[in-house]
């Protein structure tokens, strides 16, 4: 039991340092590009790094819980700024919002080279992603929270 606790603490410590490093890198890049590091920008950056927000609106609601002076325009400008400097990407972000027992249909459509089309419900897609990651050794007991799909430069049609 004590060994499991030490592993968990080590994992949390590693995650903290990784997030801190990311934050410092983003702040340095902002400074390098001539942007001031304001309290509001720090709050927004912390929320983006610590939580998974699906939209600027969601980010805004989390931000005003910490500082009522943050407006929607500030959120949109910060997100656009972070995207400009390459710190984040909003393109083609997808999020698994339900687990394996979700009944939403056709959430993932896969086209194969023989023109076969596979249509997966969110539960099936969750299972395919989770099992695939487990079989390939990428995960052990972790659960999939979100998936980002980047478009290819040249799509095979």
Burial degree of 22 (CB within 10 A; 0-12, 13-18, 19+)? middle
Give CA angle at 51 (50, 57), nearest 5°.
Answer: 130
The string of pLDDT tens digits covering residues 51-82 is 767 778 888 999 999 999 999 999 999 988 88
pLDDT at 12: 53
* Helix, strand, coil percentages in the chain from 3-state DSSP, rounded to 5: 50, 10, 40
What is the distance between the alpha carbons of residues 61 and 148, in angstroms, rounded to a whole number? 23
pLDDT at 95: 45
For the chain, percent of residues with pLDDT exceeding 90: 20
pLDDT at 120: 81
What is the distance between the alpha carbons of residues 75 and 45, in angstroms, rounded to a whole number? 10
């Amino acid at each position: 039991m004590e060994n499991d606790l030490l592993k968990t603490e080590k994992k949390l410590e590693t995650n903290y340092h990784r997030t801190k490093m990311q934050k410092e890198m983003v702040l340095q890049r902002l400074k390098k590009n001539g942007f001031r590091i304001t309290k509001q920008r720090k709050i927004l950056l912390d929320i983006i790094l610590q939580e998974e927000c699906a939209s600027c609106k969601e980010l805004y609601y989390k931000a005003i819980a910490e500082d009522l002076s943050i407006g929607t325009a500030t959120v949109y400008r910060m997100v656009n700024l972070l995207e400009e400097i390459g710190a984040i990407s909003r393109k083609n972000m997808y999020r698994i919002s339900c687990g394996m027992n979700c009944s939403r249909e056709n959430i993932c459509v896969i086209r194969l080279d023989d023109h076969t089309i596979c249509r997966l419900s969110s539960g099936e897609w969750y299972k395919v992603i989770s099992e695939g990651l487990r079989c390939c050794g990428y995960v052990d007991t972790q659960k999939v929270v979100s998936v980002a799909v980047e478009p290819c430069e040249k799509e095979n049609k």
